Structure 1
Amino acid sequence: MKHIIPILAITLFFSCQNTAQNKKEQLDVQTADPIEVPIKSGKARAYFASGCFWCVEAIYESIKGVDESISGYSGGHTTKPTYAASNTGKTGHAEAVEIIYNPEVVSFETLVDVYFASQNVTQVNGQGNDRGSQYRSILFYQNEAQKEIILKKKAALAEKLNVKIAAEVYPFQKFWVAEDYHQNYERLHPDHPYIQNVSVPRLNRFKAKFPKELLKASH
């Protein structure tokens, strides 16, 4: 985890999260009608949660056609979530990224491929040592076409690997931009121990197995 937490605190932490995920307000989020974000100036937006957003931001920015990856929160039932609040597990939100991309260069399908190729697809409520519902994996769809793409790829991967894929599938509702100090964290803090020991190795593992023609020379 990004911070060391006493054992008692961890126990209470997960207890709060399990309760939050079963709230009616949270279940309503999962069954709501999706909200579609219109293309603006030729750029589309996609939303994914896949563990610590410091890691995911750098991964997506290594893909050709992706202009920017913004860290934030999505998938919960409260308004204006903060980093401190989301870490309690009570808001229902997960650390997520907003991907701003050129759909003429990179497709939504490819972004979903990036998603599955860059994580441990079987880990529930976390990635690596970052554990808790705020680190859970979620793919957000904005329309039925995106939902179908996600579900087909998820099912195909489950069959190929013969495992249960942990990622949840949510209708997109809203993305809350995280605090300024979270943005571009990997690029601005290359010497941070978490970046060196977690983010960069995760990025390199992904780049080693993803088609090179889809990757930027640098990010």
Structure 2
Amino acid sequence: MKHLIFTFTLTLIISCQNTAQNSKAQEAIINSNPVEVPLKNGKARAYFASGCFWCVEAIYESIKGVDEVISGYSGGHTKNPTYEASNTGKTGHAESVEVIYDPNIVSFSTLVDVYFGSQNVTQVNGQGNDIGSQYRSIIFYQNEEQKAIILKKKEVLAKKLNAKIAAEVYPFQKFWKAEDYHQNYERLHPNNPYVRNVSIPRLNRFKAKFPELLKENH
């Protein structure tokens, strides 16, 4: 009976998530023209979704050439999403990060390498035990050049692993900054059980794979 209840509940959850991702409003987002964010003080911005934003923020902040990383929401069809709303799986948004970087030091192409190199690239709608459309993997492009870079790397990785890569590729539309308490969460809450058991191990696995990309103090 417990198995039947679990299966029914899981089916309901997946159904809700799929409805959010496949709605007409969501299709309009996916088929939109990308919005290109202009340089500001010589700094560019890139946007990624790869599971819990606490984890992803810490990973990108360890990279040379990255000035700041902000946690937020992107990829959905609702305005002013909140943490609670995005967790329902009905907004279309995924937990995302805004990476503010110096393109003279680190390229968008390298940031995409970091993206694929810091997650389980085959897991659909989640990372690890964080499951749901709000945790799905999305790479956002702002122009055709970025789109081509993403699609090529995704294709090469799929052939290398002989597997389907879960990351969706979206035209960037808007980034909504998350609530203040989510910002710099891993750094400010090192003893949080999730941070100790999930975020820090994920960061350390990334560091071991890409030591040449790390800032000196990381």
CA distance in 2, matches of 1:194, 1:10: 23
Equivalent position SS for 1:148: helix
Equivalent position SS for 2:120: coil
Structure 1 residue 30: Cα displacement: 0.5
Equivalent position SS for 1:76: coil
Asked if 1:138 is matched to 2:123, the reply is no
CA distance in 1, matches of 2:199, 2:217: 15
Asked if 1:201 is matched to 2:192, the reply is no
Q: What is residue 124 of structure 1 aligned with on the other side? A: 124
Structure 1 residue 13: Cα displacement: 3.3
The count of corresponding residues between Structure 1 and Structure 2 is: 213
The answer for unaligned runs of 5 or more in structure 2 is none
CA distance in 1, matches of 2:111, 2:29: 23
Counterpart residue identity of residue 105, structure 1:
I
Q: Verify the 8 A CA contact 1:14 1:89 in the aligned structure 2.
A: no
Q: Verify the 8 A CA contact 1:13 1:88 in the aligned structure 2.
A: no
Residue by residue over 1:12-61, the C-alpha shift from the partner in whole angstroms, topping out at 9 and shown as x without a partner, is: 43332121111000011111000000000010000000000000000000
Which structure 2 residues correspond to residues 39-188 of structure 1 after superposition, within 5 A? 39-188=39-188
TM-score by length of structure 2 reads 0.95
Counterpart residue identity of residue 116, structure 2:
F
Q: What is residue 37 of structure 2 aligned with on the other side? A: 37
Q: What is residue 15 of structure 2 aligned with on the other side? A: 15
Counterpart residue identity of residue 28, structure 1:
A
Q: What is residue 216 of structure 1 aligned with on the other side? A: 215
Equivalent position SS for 2:71: strand
CA distance in 1, matches of 2:57, 2:181: 13
Equivalent position SS for 1:47: strand
Residue by residue over 1:101-124, the C-alpha shift from the partner in whole angstroms, topping out at 9 and shown as x without a partner, is: 000000000000000000000000
Structure 1 residue 9: Cα displacement: 6.3
Equivalent position SS for 1:139: strand
CA distance in 2, matches of 1:127, 1:18: 17
Equivalent position SS for 2:36: coil
Counterpart residue identity of residue 28, structure 2:
D
Counterpart residue identity of residue 192, structure 2:
H
Equivalent position SS for 1:159: helix
RMSD (CA atoms): 1.3
Q: Which moved more, 1:7-16 or 1:190-199?
A: 7-16
Equivalent position SS for 2:78: coil
The answer for unaligned runs of 5 or more in structure 1 is 1-5
Q: Verify the 8 A CA contact 1:47 1:140 in the aligned structure 2.
A: yes
Counterpart residue identity of residue 145, structure 2:
A
Counterpart residue identity of residue 217, structure 2:
S
Q: What is residue 3 of structure 1 aligned with on the other side? A: none
CA distance in 1, matches of 2:55, 2:136: 14
